């Protein structure tokens, strides 16, 4: 953007809500998104991707974008198998 700051816009969501305390974000995923082979994209796919990107063994430089998600440090320390704060509802 013009200011040079990072801006993440969820193009896979039709809309989203933020809780009053700013701790819970609910994303409503578009139903018309498919993978290149025509398979529908699902919430499970996105949860997998977030967990992969934040997995310290993967070595992504994007992992810090999720540092405020519940369970991030536990996942980084190997005390958890995934981010506790990323859930499908």
Which tens digit of pLDDT belongs to each residue from 2-57?
Answer: 444 455 556 888 998 999 998 899 999 999 989 999 999 999 999 999 999 999 99
Over residues 58-77, the pLDDT tens digits come to: 989 988 899 999 999 999 99
Tokens of 72: 């991030």
Give the model's pLDDT for residue 85.
Answer: 95
Cross-strand partners of 40: 34
- Tell me the C-alpha distance between 16 and 60, whole Å: 26
Say what the pLDDT of residue 11 is.
82
Q: What is the pLDDT of residue 22?
A: 87
Architecture of domain 13-76: Alpha-Beta Complex (3.90)
Work out the widest C-alpha separation in the chain, in whole angstroms.
Answer: 40
Q: How far apart are CA 26 and CA 61, in angstroms?
A: 25
Q: Which of 25, 2, 1 is nearest to 13 (CA)?
A: 25
Contacts 24+ apart (CB under 8 A), 69-75: 75/51
Predicted structure pTM score: 0.78
């Amino acid at each position: 953007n013009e200011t040079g700051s990072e801006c993440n816009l969820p193009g896979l969501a039709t809309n989203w809500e933020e809780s009053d305390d700013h701790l819970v974000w609910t994303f409503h995923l578009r139903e018309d998104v498919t993978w290149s082979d025509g398979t529908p994209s699902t919430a499970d796919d996105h949860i997998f991707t977030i967990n992969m990107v934040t997995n310290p063994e993967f070595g992504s430089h994007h992992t810090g974008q999720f540092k405020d998600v519940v369970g991030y440090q536990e996942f980084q320390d190997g005390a958890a198998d995934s981010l506790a704060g990323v859930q499908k509802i």
